[in-house]
Amino acid sequence: MAVLALDRVTKKFDAFTAVDDLSFEVPEGGIFGFLGANGAGKTTTLRMALDILRPTSGTLEVLGRPPGQRGGGEVGFLPEERGLYRQMTVLETVIYFGQLKGMTRHDAEGSARRLLGRFGLAEFSDRKVEQLSKGMAQKVQLAAALVTSPRLIILDEPFSGLDPVNQAVLEEVVLERARDGGTIIFSTHVMQHAERLCDRLLLLAKGRKVFQGDQDEARAQLPTRLTLTARDDPRSLLGVQSAEPLGAGKGGPARDGWTDWAIALAPGGDAGALLEACTTRGFALRRFDIHRASLHDVFLHLVGEAPDTSAPVAEVAA
């Protein structure tokens, strides 16, 4: 079943529409990338899923029920704005969040100690949160979100402000949870993070869905691009939308008659079919390089502007 389902959901703040007629489903299992620039409506959507905000219109279901009607332990949430009690110790913080979601103290403490060990925080169990670095506090917050072993884990900009070492630790934990059958909704404006982790994607722009599918389907939104080195003009080849010879400063015609070409295939064109056609026709090639579009390229194509890749700030109404 879908762990999260939205049907024509709209959220307005006075005259401002933060989420606009949004419908999608997140299937169970794996890592679902919820992508968009800062202010696109991602955090507002997640807050509605968690029953923190109510939609202006439309309906949501979380694990088959309206938001707020599921036991708290089935959903784990790592918010963009961190919310730890600075005077509590690391261990007591994670235990507290477990008990808050219905765990016994004994079970919460056992789960907390395992998670703190996994995150390299066991030796800091008795230290107060205010004494931790930002990266360490972030891992405590993630432990608090995972302490109940939730079926659905919602991560809102989880790598914000983290150094590469702590990012790698969090990435591995996210991948472990997905391999164990959990479902992770990974909200981010950084396309490189989504490219590494997510198997399914939804791209949001100005509160509206502009794409949903897997990474291959996302890249198919752009024409396939290649670089060929050939003796003859490739513009006559089936499936080639455009072909431009590269200038002298970029390879240019070779002294022995070979020329480098920048190729764009027609929509739906397949590089393998083009290579097969070259072989069949005896079209001589010295080079055949496929350039794989990035999610950043797809974002530019669909939205028309680059996502902000600076350190994220809290979304006021998004």
Between residues 133 and 106, which one has the greater pLDDT? 106
Report residue 107: phi and psi, to 5°.
-70, -40
Does residue 258 sit within a domain?
yes
Q: Say if residue 295's pLDDT is above 80.
A: yes
User: For the chain, what percent of residues have pLDDT higher than 90?
Assistant: 61
Residues 205 and 262 in one domain: no
DSSP-derived secondary structure letter, 308: P
Higher pLDDT, 185 or 253: 185
| Residue bearing the bigger pLDDT, 189 or 317 | 189
Is 248 in the same domain as 124?
no
Q: In this predicted structure, what is the pLDDT of residue 133?
A: 87
Residues 48 and 172 in one domain: yes
Tens digits of residue pLDDT in 41-62: 999 999 999 999 999 999 999 9
- Pairwise CA distance, residues 261 & 243, whole Å: 6
Share of the chain above pLDDT 70, in %: 92
Same-domain pairing of 185 and 258: no
Alpha helix (H) residue ranges in 101-237 = 105-118, 134-146, 164-179, 191-197, 215-219
Over residues 18-45, mean pLDDT: 94
In a domain, 307, yes or no: no
- Domains in the chain, number: 2
Q: Where are the beta strands (DSSP E) in the chain?
A: 2-13, 16-27, 30-35, 57-62, 75-78, 152-156, 183-188, 200-205, 208-214, 225-230, 240-245, 259-265, 285-291
Q: Is the per-residue pLDDT at 318 higher than 50?
A: no
Rounded mean pLDDT of the chain? Answer: 88
pLDDT at 253: 55
Quick one: 273 and 190 in the same domain? no
* Residue 23 placed within a domain: yes
Do 136 and 272 belong to one domain?
no
CATH of the domain at 50: 3.40.50.300
- Do residue 182 and residue 76 come from a single domain? yes
Model confidence band, residue 71 (pLDDT cutoffs 50, 70, 90): low
Q: Is residue 301 part of a domain?
A: no
Q: Are residues 141 and 183 in the same domain?
A: yes
pLDDT in tens, 154-168: 999 888 778 888 888
For residues 257-284, average pLDDT? 89
Residues 6+ apart with CB under 8 A from 209: 22, 23, 24, 202, 203
- Beta-carbon contacts of 14 under 8 Å, excluding residues fewer than 6 positions away, are none
Report d(CA 300, CA 250) in Å as an integer: 25
- Model pLDDT, residue 268: 74
Same domain, 125 and 38: yes
Residue 317, in any domain of the structure: no
CA-derived radius of gyration, the chain? 24
Question: Domain for residue 98, yes or no?
Answer: yes
Which of residues 219, 237, 271 is at a domain's end?
Answer: 219
Q: Which of 160, 186, 219 is the last residue of a domain?
A: 219
- Other CB atoms within a 10 A radius of the CB of residue 235 amount to 12
Is there a contact between 161 and 82 (Cβ–Cβ < 8 Å)? no
Q: How, if at all, do strands 225-230 and 259-265 pair?
A: antiparallel
Whether residue 302 lies inside any domain: the answer is: no
Please tell me whether residues 199 and 256 are part of one structural domain: no
Q: How confident is the model at residue 246 (pLDDT cuts 50, 70, 90)?
A: confident
For residue 316, what pLDDT is reported? 37
Residues 16 and 86 in one domain: yes
pTM: 0.81
**Domain carrying residue 99:** 2-219
Q: Is the pLDDT of residue 312 over 80?
A: no
Alpha helices by DSSP H, listed for 23-133, are 42-49, 90-100, 105-118
Please check the confidence at residue 34 and state whether its pLDDT lies above 90: yes
Residue 309 in any domain: the answer is: no
* Residue 229: per-residue pLDDT: 93
